[in-house]
Structures are given as C-alpha cells and as structure tokens.
Amino acid sequence: MPTTNGRVSHWFDEPPPSRPALPGDRDADVCIVGAGYTGLWTAYYLKKADPALRISVLEARFAGFGASGRNGGWLSGLVPGDRNRMAEQYGRQRVLDWQRALNDSVDEVIDVAAAEGIDAGIVKGGTLHIARTPAQAGRLAAEADEELAWKVDGIARLSKAEVAERIRLDGVVSGYHNPHCARIQPARLVRGLADAVERLGVDVYEQTPAVTIESGRVTTPHGTVTAPVVLRATEGFTATLPGLRRRWLPMNSSMIVTEPLSAALWETIGWDDRATLGDTAHGFFYAQRTVDDRIAIGGRSVPYRFGSRIDRDGQVPPRTITHLTRVLHSVLPQVRDVPIAHGWCGVLAVPRDWESTVTFDRATGVGWAGGYVGHGVTATNLAGRTLTDLVLDRRGPLAELPWVGHRSRDWEPEPLRWLGVRGMYTAYKAADWHESRGRATTSPIAVVADKIAGRPH
C-alpha cells in the first residue's frame, strides 16, 4: 500500500495556503461558483475582456480542490462528448469547428501559462494510444480512422515495433499517436491560474461553500454575493447542490503514482517525449511520466458511490490501489520493484447523454459549464472563453459551437442510477476479460452496455 492515501492528490506537494473566506455580503458584476479550471478560466477571460468588471469567485475548499487538482494531467484536444451524435443534432461543420477549437485550446493554455509565468511542467509530446489484444487493436484502428475523418491532423499509426521505439511496454499489438496533447502538472496549473486572476483584480474567496445559487445572488455561510451574472462552475460537485442531484452524475476516477524512477530504469523504458499514455480497453487506463520522473496512472475501479456521494479528500479504497498497481505492472513490468507512493481519487461530471455544455440564460443572468466526461483539462479553457463571449453578448464563432445551450435530461433516481452505472462497469470488466481470451472483435457485452448507458462508442 502507498505511503499516502487521499490528502486530495499527489499533485499538491502539501496543502496550499488558504485564501480568506468571503468576509460578509458583497456586490459584484459577476459571481462565479467554483475555483477550478472552468471558474478560473472564465474569470481570467472576463477580466481581460473588461477590466472594470467586479468579479467574485467562491470556492468551498481551495482553488483546485476538485477535479482540476486531481486529474491525470492530459491537456488534450479530446472532445467531451460524441462527435457523431452531436453532428446529427447540430450539423457536421459545427462539430468540426468544435474539434478544431479544442485542438487550438491546447496551445492557448500553453501560451497563457507562459505569459503568466505559470510553471505547470508542460511538455507537448502528444498522446500515445495502445492496443494490447486483437479486439482492442480493432477499436484502435477505428479510433484512428475516426480522428482522421474529423480532420484531426498529425495522426500517426504505429506498429508494435514503432510503439516500442517510444515506450517499451509489455504486450502491445499496435498504437497510434495524436500530437494534440501536452503533459501537465495539473495542480500547478490551477494554482498558478488562481494567482493570475487575483493579479488581474478578481476576488477569490476560499472556504466559502455556496448554499444556494439563484438568479442575481449566491448565498454562503459567510454572506451573500449579489450580482446580475451568476455562473456555476461546480463540475463533479454539482450533485451536492439543491435541486441538482440528478443533473450530472459524479463519476469517480482514481490514480496512483510511483516513487521516482532511477535514470537507469528510465533507460529501459524510454518515454523520452513525455507523451501521455492510454489504452483502448473498456476499463481503460490513462498515464503520464511526471515532472519528477514518477509514473502516474489512473482508471475507474470504483466508478460511482450510491446517492451521488463524494469522496472524503481523495481517499481511495485499498482494492482500487491494488487494481491500478496490477494494471501498471502488466503494462510496465520493469517497475514491479518501485514502491507506490500515493493513491487518490476524485469526481468528474457525466451528463445523462455524455455530452458537455456551456449555457448562459440572459433572462435570468445564470450560466454554467461542465459535464466534461473526463476530458475537461482543455475543454475548460474553451468553456471559459465561450462563457465570456456569451456573458458579454459577443456574437463570435465560439457562441456557435454545438455545446452552447445543449441540454441533457436528468439521470434516473436511486437505486436505478447506482444499479445502472455499477452494472455498466461490471459489464465492461467482463468484456475486457472476454477479449483477453483472444477474441478478435469487441465483446458483445460491451456493445450492449454502451447502448444501455448511452455512452459514446
């Protein structure tokens, strides 16, 4: 077992110093609830666009406490939704524009980090997707075709030998490389962004949970912020708010990180380009080579807690740590003797149709963005710029992207919600086992699970 379990995440070397709480009632032009990536990017671009705006950001714990400070560190152009399904609803060209905007947003984040002096350990090495069974290889080939069909440039199909030239992994059948991704240290990015918005004159209040979010006002235990524009940026914690328990499901994702690897061990592995790494199993993993030369790897071992409950400061069940360690050792047996240093978990928001949204209701002054289904590190930047255009009533191309104003129906009540999600992931585990026996095509178990869940293929 690791030396540390929970304590938010490994990305925070130690708990950050806390900003003051809201000191009483306040008036503002814009009140943003949530100091993660979505809330902070929105505050950043609003203040840049109109320095006279009085902006207050309210955070229940500290900036980056949620998914922004616990994620896998993939600054990628992955779309937070199903491109084909969105094209059926909104047209292919709008989805092509969305994909292009997300790819461009990778560089936008890199540029802002450089301009603001944020050292987030960014290395744009792309992302390497691998297959380790014949069925995975079929899906991987289809994924590469799909990327090319959506005009994602730079996709490189890789043989087993070509994958090994990049990273010497065990059991690889094939792979492909997508250049639109950078490795980051996520907590450094979110904390640096919080400092940047404060330098611009935005008020960031920590230890200030929202009790109610309404048109024109947000109430907290420390006072009320009155503002004509109220924006909700609460992602996986949305289910904790009154009336929103079934709006977005808080999906649990867990991670472990090793102790630092020696230079000699890295010589046996490679991974010199620091590309992010993932596979095409149904119970997939995601990984990175960290700034301090560890390996961080994550997955969905315990995907959902009954009643949309949230974890306690990232503490992860021991069986999840065992599972992720087993996955790591199966793909990189070279690190079997390297201790696991830290395990943690967090929640991301999943709408019922697995499609994210950016919405602003001008009549009420209330807006929100989120439901990124695990692809939010880059999407939050685009969402923040899009919300800025919507709030300021700027009729640019961002306001025409297909996620603007998209609405998803609520999730089923309990116990149907718990049974459905747990059943889905049990089916995926069975499908992966089925495929590991040499099956050449995707297990029908997974096909049925996808259809029932409404999950993108």
Digit-coded pLDDT (tens) for 127-159: 999 999 999 999 999 999 999 999 999 999 999
Is pLDDT above 80 for 448? Answer: no
171 and 63 together in one domain: no
Q: What is the mean pLDDT of the chain?
A: 95
Is pLDDT above 60 for 457? Answer: no
Percent of the chain topping pLDDT 70: 99
Which candidate, 57, 69, 63, places its Cα nearest to that of 10? 69
**286 in helix, strand or coil?**
strand
Report how far residue 20's alpha carbon sits from residue 62's, in angstroms, rounded to the nearest whole number.
10
Is pLDDT above 80 for 216? Answer: yes
Structure-block tokens of residue 383: 């969402």
Beta-carbon contacts of 451 under 8 Å, excluding residues fewer than 6 positions away, are: none
| pTM score over 0.85 | yes
pLDDT, tens digit (0-9, with 9 covering 90-100), for 327-367: 999 999 999 999 999 999 999 999 999 999 999 999 999 99
Torsions phi, psi for 156 (to 5 deg):
-120, 115
Arithmetic mean of pLDDT, 235-261: 96
26 and 171 together in one domain: no
Q: What is the residue type of 98?
A: W
Evaluate whether residue 52 is within a structural domain. Answer: yes
Structure-block tokens of residue 33: 């609830």
235 and 365 together in one domain: yes
381 and 426 together in one domain: no
370 and 440 together in one domain: no
Tell me if 334 sits within 8 A of 265, measured CB to CB. Answer: yes
Evaluate whether residue 7 is within a structural domain. Answer: no
Is pLDDT above 70 for 455? Answer: no
Torsions phi, psi for 260 (to 5 deg):
-60, 140
* pLDDT for res 9: 97
| Domain membership of residue 136 as a residue range | 127-177
- What pLDDT band is residue 445 in, cutting at 50, 70 and 90? confident
The C-alpha torsion from 193 through 387 and 347 to 65, rounded to 10°, is 30
CATH at 93: 3.50.50.60
Query: Where are the strands (E) in 283-389, listed by range?
Result: 286-289, 295-299, 340-350, 357-361, 366-370
30 and 133 together in one domain: no
Evaluate whether residue 280 is within a structural domain. Answer: no
Number of domains in the chain: 3
User: Among 150-164, 332-346, 364-378, 436-450, whose mean pLDDT is lowest?
Assistant: 436-450
45 and 157 together in one domain: no
Structure-block tokens of residue 451: 């259809």
* pLDDT for res 382: 98
28 and 102 together in one domain: yes
Structure-block tokens of residue 349: 């928001």
Beta-carbon contacts of 263 under 8 Å, excluding residues fewer than 6 positions away, are: none
Evaluate whether residue 439 is within a structural domain. Answer: yes
31 and 172 together in one domain: no
Beta-carbon contacts of 307 under 8 Å, excluding residues fewer than 6 positions away, are: 414, 418
* pLDDT for res 435: 77
Which candidate, 184, 192, 231, places its Cα nearest to that of 210? 231
User: Among 166-170, 327-331, 377-381, 427-431, whose mean pLDDT is lowest?
Assistant: 427-431
Beta bridge mates, 270: 167
Evaluate whether residue 331 is within a structural domain. Answer: no
Tell me if 429 sits within 8 A of 383, measured CB to CB. Answer: no
pLDDT, tens digit (0-9, with 9 covering 90-100), for 41-89: 999 999 999 999 999 999 999 999 999 999 999 999 999 999 999 999 9
Beta-carbon contacts of 259 under 8 Å, excluding residues fewer than 6 positions away, are: 294, 338, 339, 340, 341
Evaluate whether residue 234 is within a structural domain. Answer: yes
226 and 198 together in one domain: yes
What is the largest distance, in Å, between two alpha-carbon atoms of the chain?
A: 64
67 and 99 together in one domain: yes
Report how far residue 286's alpha carbon sits from residue 411's, in angstroms, rounded to the nearest whole number.
26
Question: b vs e for 421-447, b when ≥16 Cβ sit within 10 Å of the residue's Cβ?
Answer: bbebbebbbbbbebbeeebeebbebbe
45 and 165 together in one domain: no
Evaluate whether residue 144 is within a structural domain. Answer: yes
Evaluate whether residue 118 is within a structural domain. Answer: no
* pLDDT for res 310: 87
